[in-house]
Amino acid sequence: MINNNQQNNKSFINKVADKIVSFFKKIIQFFIGFFKGIYIGIKSFPSKMVKLGKFLAEKWNGFFERFKDGDLGTKLSHIFMGFGNIYHKQIIKGLIFLAIQVGFLFLFFSNPVINRSERVVFDPVTFVPIGTEVIDPGTPLGYKSLINLVTLGTNPGEGASGVRAADNSMLMLLFGVFMIAIIIVMIYAWLANIKSAYKVQKDLENGKKRKTFIEDLKDLLDTRFHILLLLPTLIGVSLFTLIPTIFMILIAFTDWGKGMVAGSQLFSWVGFDNFLAVFESSSEIGLNFIPVLTWTLVWAFFATFTNYIGGILLALLINKHEIKLKKIWRTIFVLTIALPQFITLLAVRQLISTAGPFNELLQSIGILSEPMAFLDRADSVTTARISVLVINLWIGVPYTMLMTSGILMNVPKDTYEAAQIDGATKFQAFRFITVPYIVFVTTPYLITSFIGNITSFNIIYLLTGGGPRGEGYAGGTDLLVTWLFKMTIDQKDYNVGSVIAIFTFIITASATLLTYRRSKAYKEEDTFQ
Q: Which part of the chain contacts another protein (CB under 8 A), choosing from 126-134, 234-242, 272-280, 381-389?
A: 234-242
SS3 content of the chain, % helix, strand, coil (to 5): 70, 5, 25
Q: Measured between alpha carbons, how far is 192 from 100 in angstroms, rounded to an integer?
A: 12
Nearest residue (CB) to another protein, 78 versus 492: 492
509 is a site residue for another protein (CB under 8 A) = yes
The neighbouring-strand residues paired with 121 are 131
The stretch near another protein (CB under 8 A) out of 36-44, 75-83, 267-275, 439-447 is 439-447
Going through 262-355 in order, the beta strands assigned E by DSSP cover: none
Q: How far is the CB of 414 from another protein (least distance, A)?
A: 18
Give 87 or 437: the residue with its C-beta nearer to another protein: 437
Nearer CB in complex with another protein: 127/528: 528
The conformation of residue 411, written as its DSSP 8-state character, comes to S
- Rg of the chain on CA atoms, in Å: 32
* 153/398 with CB nearer another protein: 398
Nearer Cβ to another protein, position 95 or 411? 411
Is the link from the previous residue into 468 a cis peptide, with omega within 30 of 0? yes
Q: What's the rounded Cα separation, in Å, for the pair 111 and 34?
A: 45
Residue 351 near another protein by CB under 8 A:
yes
Residue 309 binds another protein (CB under 8 A): no
- For residue 280, the SS3 value is coil
Q: How many residues bind another protein (CB under 8 A)?
A: 97
476-505 residues in contact with another protein (CB under 8 A) are: 481, 484-485, 488-489, 494, 498, 501, 504-505
Q: 391 or 418: whose CB is closer to another protein?
A: 391
Q: Is 76 or 316 the residue whose CB approaches another protein more closely? A: 316
Pick the closer one to another protein by CB: 46 or 232: 232
Which one of 90-98, 372-380, 417-425, 440-448 is the stretch in contact with another protein (CB under 8 A)?
Answer: 440-448
Q: Binding of another protein at residue 243 (CB under 8 A)?
A: yes
Query: Judged by CB under 8 A, which of 440, 469, 472, 473 binds another protein?
Result: 440
Figure out which of the listed residues 56, 91, 121, 323 binds another protein, where binding follows CB under 8 A.
323
226 near another protein, rule: CB under 8 A: yes
Q: How far is the CB of 188 from another protein (least distance, A)?
A: 12
- Per DSSP, the chain holds a count of helices (H) and strands (E) of 23, 4
Chain residues 2-61 in contact with another protein, contact rule CB under 8 A: none
525 binds another protein (CB under 8 A): yes
Taking the complex as a whole, the smallest distance from the CB of residue 319 to another protein amounts, in Å, to 11
Contacts of 67 (CB under 8 A, 6+ apart): 74, 75, 78
Asked if residue 278 binds another protein (CB under 8 A), the reply is no
Work out whether 344 is an interface residue with another protein (CB under 8 A).
Answer: yes
Query: 3-state secondary structure string, 58-97?
Result: HHHHHHHHHHHHCCHHHHHCCCCCCHHHHHCCCHHHHHHH
Residue number, 121 or 231, with CB nearest to another protein: 231
With binding defined as CB under 8 A, does residue 296 bind another protein? no
Task: Report the C-alpha gap between 464 and 469 in whole angstroms.
Answer: 10
Tell me if 314 contacts another protein by CB under 8 A.
yes
254 touches 152 (CB < 8 A): yes
Instruction: State which of residues 217, 276, 332, 367 lies at the interface with another protein (CB under 8 A).
Output: 332
Q: Please identify which residue in 278, 285, 348, 384 interacts with another protein, judged by CB under 8 A.
A: 348
User: Binders of another protein among 147-176, rule CB under 8 A?
Assistant: 170-171, 174
- Residues numbered 366 to 425 that lie near another protein (CB under 8 A) are 394, 398, 402-403, 406-407
Q: To which H or E segment does residue 136 belong? A: strand 129-136
Out of 6, 245, 283, 380, the only residue in the binding site for another protein (CB under 8 A) is 245
Stretch that binds another protein, among 34-42, 70-78, 297-305, 508-516 (CB under 8 A): 508-516
The residues with which 133 forms a beta bridge, in sequence order, are 119
| Strand-strand pairing, 129-136 and 117-122 | antiparallel
Rounded distance between C-alpha atoms, residue 208 and residue 200, angstroms: 9
Question: In the complex, what is the shortest distance from the CB of residue 201 to another protein, in angstroms, rounded to a whole number?
Answer: 23
Which among 41-49, 58-66, 117-125, 344-352 is the span making contact with another protein, rule CB under 8 A?
A: 344-352
- How far apart, in whole angstroms, are the C-alpha atoms of residue 256 and residue 79? 41
C-alpha of 305 from chain center: 24
Contacts of 354 (CB under 8 A, 6+ apart): 371, 372, 373
Q: What DSSP letter does each residue of 255-293 carry, written as one string?
A: ---TT--BTTB---B-TTHHHHHHT-TTSHHHHHHHHHH
- Nearer to another protein by Cβ, of 344 and 387: the residue is 344
The Cα–Cα gap between 504 and 249 comes to 12
- Taking the complex as a whole, the smallest distance from the CB of residue 247 to another protein amounts, in Å, to 4
Work out the number of other CB atoms within 10 angstroms of the CB of residue 310.
Answer: 18
In this structure, the dihedral spanned by the alpha carbons of residues 477, 482, 484 and 488, taken in order and rounded to 10 degrees, is -120
Least distance CB 169 / another protein (angstroms): 12
